[in-house]
Each structure stands twice: as C-alpha cells, then as structure tokens.
Amino acid sequence: MFCRHMIQFHKHDSHFVINCGFQSCSFVTKSWSCFKMHVKRKHKVREEMPVDELMDTAGDVDEYLPPTHQPPTTSLGSHIAPPHVLLSAGYLLSLKADHKLAQKAVDDVVSTTSDLLRSQMLCVKHDILQKLAESGCELGHTHDILDKAVPDNYFDGLETCDSRRKFYRQKLNLVEPQEVYLGTTLVKHRGKIISQRKFGVIVPFERNLKALLAMPEVWHYVQHVHTSNDSVMRDMCDGYVWSANELFSRNPSAPQIF
C-alpha cells in the first residue's frame, strides 16, 4: 500500500527514488518509466505477469477505489468540494508545510493568485471563442457553457486562516494536533531557579485512524488482503522480516499499523 501510494502520488517528485530488489538486483533510478523498462528487459516480467496492470498506477483509478456495495465506514465530509477547490487546498497546504509560509502570507497568495487565475481564464475563454469563430463553428450557447465550466473562484472557502482550517476539517478530515501537559521542570531565569510548565503535542490515534480509513485507497486494502505469490517485493509486507513476525503472522488479515 505504501509503495503504491508513493508511486501514484510522488513518482514525479524531484526526490523520488526507487530500487529494484528483484532477486538481489541493485538497480536504482529516479525515473518510474525507466524502472518499468528495466524490470521488463532485465527480469522479463512481461512473460510472467501483467506488469502494466500491477505496477502502472497511472492507469485506471477505479482499481484503487472500494466496491460500491461495501462503502467505507466514514466519509470525507458531508459534501465533497469541487475538484478545483481541492487542488487549491492541496496547493495552500504545500505552501504552509513545505515553504513555512505564515498565515498572513498564505492569505496574500490566495488573493493575488485568485486575481491572476480570474484574468487568465478570461483570456482563455476569449481565445476559445475566437478560435471557434475562425473555424466557422456556430457559437450558440458557447458563452454560457464556458461561463458554467470555468469556475469563478478557485479558492472558495479558503480565503482566510479560519475558513481554511474549517475546510480542512470538514472536507479533508483533518486531525489537528492537541497540546498536552507533560509536567514541570526547574529552569534558571535571570539568576533564579523557577518552575516552568512543559507541554507536548500529540495526534489523536483513533481519530487519525478513522481519517485514514475514510481514504478510498486505504479502505480498498482493508477489504482486499495483500498477497504476493512471486519473488517481487512490492512493499515491506512481502519481506521475510515482516512475514516471520509473530504479531502479524497470527492474523494476516488484520490492518497493519506501524
């Protein structure tokens, strides 16, 4: 599951690295397509198994979704946000997590980027109408169709810090860290020994687990037990150390949390 997630969502990242490990093969590459070609040519997996089906996660997304007759026990919010807003939410989260931007800076990015996208979309719509007119197409209701297809606001519900936090909780099942009191310690302050309270941060395990099970790709693997009958190690569950561990060998169908 972990390997599939890494390939599906991170195979184009600059830091993506994958090693073969097939029959002690030491081949390492940063390119997913190069790795697939290596497996097909070096280890001749094509004749033995449908490698494109098993390894090409850019294929049919439905493969990772749970069956309709067995829905997840939890859902991602009461109403699913539009795809363009979800993409914007991911973009803003990356600004906060990867680039350490302050909330005020993120607010400014939302404002300026919204204006930019709005202007860009006006240009795109104008160009589409112009190209259609030049090709002799009847415009008809094209204006109305474009107005409905192109969003007015790409950051709907993400304009402020409070609205973003509410959006993350309701639409993305955000499990926020909680501050916990750890105790007191003695510290020296201005030449005097004083008592100082200490706090730590935890992420509630049960709520975090519920949020994970609400993800379709995770729920899919809860319903479909991972099995491997070949010598290709697709994730750590295929390794000897994992399979020989008494904790997991007793009940191989149980969710494995580590």
Q: How do the domains of the chain map onto residue ranges?
A: 2-76+214-232, 83-171, 178-202
Kindly tell me if the per-residue pLDDT of 72 is higher than 80: no
pLDDT of residue 186: 92
The pair of three-digit structure tokens given for residue 146, joined into one six-digit string:
């474009």
pLDDT tens track for 111-160: 999 999 999 999 998 999 889 888 888 888 888 888 888 888 899 999 99
Q: Which helix (H) or strand (E) holds 236?
A: none
User: Is the pLDDT score of 46 beyond 60?
Assistant: no
Mean pLDDT of the chain: 76
pTM, rounded to two decimals: 0.52
For the CA atoms of 234, 240, 241, 243, the dihedral, rounded to the nearest 10 degrees, stands at 80
Higher-confidence position of 214 and 252: 214
Highest mean pLDDT pick, 50-54, 134-138, 247-251:
134-138
Six-digit token string for 13: 């990242």
**DSSP string of 13-53, one letter each residue:** STT--EE--GGG---EES-HHHHHHHHHHHS--TTTS-HHH
Which of 76-85, 96-105, 233-242 has the least mean pLDDT? 76-85
